[in-house]
Every structure is written in structure tokens, then in C-alpha cells.
């Protein structure tokens, strides 16, 4: 009998509270989940998600971008070093509030995914719930996509929709979307980690 193939090691990059990170880590504990959450890396010292990761028994690291005084690539080289030392195979951005340089994106091309709180290609960038309310859409949601050099423009792996309800404000809408984010991201990670979805020549191939 051959040994089971090792599961890809996931590094999750956060800047804040890390609720998506927790949902990923909890999903990955289930028998048969095709990936292991091996590291949580924050660019913000003391980010709430770091304590939550430690409570889950996950290794944590901090690379403070402010120490690099605006040299984004130097900051990313330091992160890359930590990711390689921890033998990370897949990078998941989960509320990571730094824009990546093309150097870092190319280095992790096809192995780095992000969750964005809108139905891409609608409402890229920040304040997506405000953008959705101002646009008057009746449907909103979240997307998991491969990261490419252009912001929030990578091929979408999976989306989840929510209704926009009368009386919604940014907070009520964000909360409704977040529930779906927590369900969607582990499903998308399972597809990528198992090889059921892959990025080939800039498009998603499903097997």
C-alpha cells in the first residue's frame, strides 16, 4: 500500500481580524480535506488574526511592511523567505491589505488566490459594499480568484451571491456577504489544492 500523497501546505496572509483564515483552518481540520494550513503570516504586528491562529495551533509570523520604508519588493522578498522556510505550496490572501508587485505575483502565479467581497468583475478595490449600494444592484456577493498583476482582475474560481435587501447599509450587507465568504473560500481552496481547478495559460482548467 502506498503512502498518502502529502497535502499542499497553505500559507494564509492576513492584515486584520482573520475570520476567513479561521474558516479555512477549521475546514482543513476535517478528514480528507486536501490541504493543510501550515502558516499564518501578517504584515501588521498584533493583528487580531495572529492570536486566533495561535489558538488553533497554527504557526504564525509577522513581516511588518513599515520596516521596509516603501520598498515593496524588499518587503515581499522578506515574506517570500518566510513562505519558503515554511515550505508553503499555496498562498491564500484573506483580508491582506497590501497590493503585490508583479515580481511577487509572478513568483506565486497559479499558486496564489484571494477572496474579494464582490461579484467580480463588479466593484474592484475597496469599499465594495458601499459601491454595491451606490450602484443600486439587487444582488451582491463574493469571489475567489487567482491573483494576477492587475488588481482584483484574476480568473474567478468560485462565487457566492447574496440579495441586497431594502434598508441594507454597508454593515448589514457586509455581514451577509461574510457568511458566504466563510463557506466559499474553503470550497475554492479544496478545488485548487486537489487539482480540480488549475490556472493554465491565464485561464482556469477544471479536471
What residues are paired with 112 via a beta bridge? 91
Q: Give the separation between CA 114 and CA 49, rounded to whole angstroms.
A: 17
Is residue 116 annotated as part of the catalytic site, yes or no? yes
Beta carbon of residue 115, minimum distance to ligand GRF (angstroms, whole number): 5
Beta carbon of residue 4, minimum distance to ligand GRF (angstroms, whole number): 30
**Residue number with the smallest Cβ distance to ligand GRF:** 95
Of the residues 116, 140, 145, 182, only one is catalytic, namely 116
- Measure the CA angle with vertex 150, ends 42 and 41; round to 5°: 10
In sequence order, what DSSP letters do the residues of 145-175 get, joined into one string?
Answer: EE--SSTT-SPEEEEEEEEPPTT--HHHHHH
Q: Output 16 or 110, the one with its CB closest to ligand GRF.
A: 16
Point out which residues bind ligand GRF (CB under 6 A): 14, 16-20, 94-95, 115-117, 178, 181
Cell of 109: 502565479
Beta carbon of residue 184, minimum distance to ligand GRF (angstroms, whole number): 10
CA torsion angle 196 201 202 206 (round to 10): -20
Q: Give the separation between CA 14 and CA 185, rounded to whole angstroms.
A: 14
Q: Output 53 or 78, the one with its CB closest to ligand GRF.
A: 53
Q: Output 85 or 151, the one with its CB closest to ligand GRF.
A: 151
What residues are paired with 203 via a beta bridge? 200
Beta carbon of residue 20, minimum distance to ligand GRF (angstroms, whole number): 3
Q: Output 94 or 199, the one with its CB closest to ligand GRF.
A: 94
Which residues are identified as catalytic? 116
Amino acid at each position: 500500500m502506498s503512502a498518502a500523497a502529502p497535502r499542499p501546505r497553505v500559507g494564509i496572509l492576513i492584515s486584520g481580524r482573520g475570520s476567513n483564515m479561521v474558516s479555512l483552518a477549521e475546514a482543513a481540520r476535517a478528514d480528507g480535506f486536501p490541504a493543510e494550513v501550515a502558516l499564518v503570516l501578517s504584515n501588521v504586528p498584533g493583528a487580531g488574526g495572529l492570536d486566533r491562529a495561535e489558538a488553533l495551533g497554527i504557526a504564525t509570523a509577522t513581516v511588518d511592511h513599515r520596516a521596509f520604508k516603501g520598498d515593496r519588493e524588499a518587503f515581499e522578498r522578506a515574506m517570500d523567505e518566510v513562505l519558503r522556510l515554511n515550505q508553503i505550496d499555496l498562498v491564500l490572501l484573506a483580508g491582506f491589505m497590501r497590493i503585490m508587485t508583479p515580481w511577487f505575483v509572478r513568483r506565486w502565479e497559479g499558486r496564489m488566490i484571494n477572496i474579494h467581497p464582490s461579484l467580480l468583475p463588479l466593484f474592484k478595490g475597496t469599499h465594495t459594499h458601499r459601491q454595491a449600494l451606490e450602484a443600486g444592484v439587487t444582488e451582491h456577493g463574493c469571489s475567489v480568484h487567482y491573483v494576477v498583476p492587475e488588481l482584483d482582475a484574476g480568473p474567478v474560481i468560485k462565487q457566492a451571491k447574496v440579495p441586497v435587501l431594502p434598508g441594507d447599509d454597508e454593515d448589514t450587507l457586509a455581514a451577509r456577504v461574510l457568511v458566504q465568504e466563510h463557506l466559499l473560500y474553503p470550497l475554492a481552496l479544496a478545488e485548487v489544492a486537489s487539482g480540480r481547478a488549475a490556472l493554465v495559460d491565464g485561464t482556469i482548467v477544471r479536471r
